[in-house]
Structure 1
Amino acid sequence: MRSEAIRYLILPGWQGSSAEHWQSHWQRSLPNSTRVEQQDWASPQRADWVAELNRAVAADPRPAILIAHSLGCVTVAHWAQQAPLELLRRVRGALLVAPADVERPGCPEPLQNFAPLPRDLLPFPSQLIGSDNDPAASAARAVEMARHWGSDAVVLSGVGHINVKSGHHYWEQGFAHLYRLQNRIEQQQRRRA
């Protein structure tokens, strides 16, 4: 993978990621990174968000790593269920941070059209990072999503929703999870070679 020109597609969740959010900092830090811009961050529609991810993957033939937060994680899982094989093959892996449980009691109404949560294995390596005190998904639900999606799961202690509100601006520690995912991708590629 080091010899390939990898691009990073940043997928924010509901209401987008502000300039102070770690995803925005990562977008400025990682080479070849692009944000998947949604038409409506406040009233997300599953079909629209999935279509926008599809356009972003289709727009560039280079291999991509998806870096998703919250509802962006659910968008990745829905996209992977219906994307054409040619586009699925462009995605080398996905870092799924603080996925939103859109089936939880009290889930905000704008997110409910993303239910039910996909339960199919993702066709690429993925690393899911949850939290034991995330209001958007309990640790048990994060682990369950990881199991359905075939993701390696890590549950962090006391980090909330891993966003600005929980104090995660740069989230330098998150790069360790991205590097772990990239190493896993490289190992799989070597085994196939």
Structure 2
Amino acid sequence: MKAGDVLLLPGWQNSGPQHWQSLWEARHGYRRVEQHDWMRPLRGDWSARLEDAVLASEAPVVLVAHSLGCILAAAWASVSRSTARVRGALLVAPGDVERPDLREQLRGWAPIARQPLPFPSVLVASRNDPYCRLERARELAQAWGSRFVDHGEAGHLNADSGLGDWPRGQALLDELMNLRER
């Protein structure tokens, strides 16, 4: 699998330079799915950009999503005819867009698609994520058919969490990719 076959799906407001997704992009050459508007995300627009990125790939892809990117992956998978081109997904710190405060800020993202994902996935959550309770993340993992990983107390699993280039996350991604290569 080539580095360009790994698609990074940042969340709302994109991933800054010290976020593990940005560090992985720089270090490994993974491809960020660029959105038209990171500040006012529209689910339909974001899904269309993901569809374009998946179809533009010469080989099957692996999705690496953070926060709203996780909700995007589930929404896209629930309607796309291109899901067979996805080998798997690493879903990190999903944002609970059904919570009243986030629903207000991210209009049009609720309800969260809850169909089982048609590809293997791992959902990583933190016990003290300010945007999604651990129990809620576990419910999403169950609905999506994802393997659930409790990352302990690590906030939103972003740059503020002090993860650096997050070797544990890379190991989870490697495991996911190896499952599909057997």
Choose the corresponding residue for 1:28, options 26, 29, 54: 26
Pairs within 5 Å for 1:18-97:
18-31=16-29, 33-84=30-81, 87-97=82-92
* Deviation larger for 103-112 or 122-131: 103-112
Q: Which runs of 4+ in 1 moved over 3 A?
A: none
Indicate conservation of the 8 Å contact 1:5/1:63, yes or no: no
Separation (CA, whole Å) in 2 of partners of 1:118 and 1:101: 12
Partner AA of 2:17 in structure 1 = A
Indicate conservation of the 8 Å contact 1:8/1:30, yes or no: no
Q: Tell me how far 1:5 sits from its aligned partner.
A: 4.1
Separation (CA, whole Å) in 2 of partners of 1:34 and 1:110: 27
Separation (CA, whole Å) in 2 of partners of 1:110 and 1:53: 22
Separation (CA, whole Å) in 1 of partners of 2:19 and 2:125: 17
The answer to whether the aligner puts 1:183 opposite 2:162 as a matched pair is no
Pairs within 5 Å for 1:167-178:
167-178=162-173
Q: Tell me how far 1:173 sits from its aligned partner.
A: 1.7
Structure 1: any 5+ residue segments left out of the alignment? 188-193
Partner AA of 1:176 in structure 2 = A
Partner AA of 2:14 in structure 1 = G
Q: Tell me how far 1:8 sits from its aligned partner.
A: 0.4
Q: Tell me how far 1:112 sits from its aligned partner.
A: 3.3
Equivalent position SS for 2:40 = coil
Indicate conservation of the 8 Å contact 2:34/2:49, yes or no: yes
The answer to whether the aligner puts 1:14 opposite 2:12 as a matched pair is yes
* Deviation larger for 98-107 or 178-187: 178-187
Separation (CA, whole Å) in 1 of partners of 2:57 and 2:73: 17
Q: Tell me how far 1:107 sits from its aligned partner.
A: 1.6
Indicate conservation of the 8 Å contact 2:114/2:143, yes or no: yes
Q: Tell me how far 1:170 sits from its aligned partner.
A: 1.4
Q: Are the structure 2 counterparts of residues 112 and 155 from structure 1 closer, same or farther at C-alpha, using a change threshold of 3 Å?
A: farther
Indicate conservation of the 8 Å contact 1:61/1:90, yes or no: no
User: What is the RMSD computed on CA atoms of the aligned residues?
Assistant: 1.4
Q: Tell me how far 1:61 sits from its aligned partner.
A: 2.7
Question: Aligned pair count?
Answer: 181
Partner AA of 1:13 in structure 2 = G
Q: Tell me the equivalent position of 2:130.
A: 135
Q: Tell me how far 1:29 sits from its aligned partner.
A: 2.1
Equivalent position SS for 1:75 = helix
Q: Are the structure 2 counterparts of residues 108 and 119 from structure 1 closer, same or farther at C-alpha, using a change threshold of 3 Å?
A: closer
What is the TM-score when the length of structure 1 is the normalising length?
0.89
What is the TM-score when the length of structure 2 is the normalising length?
0.94
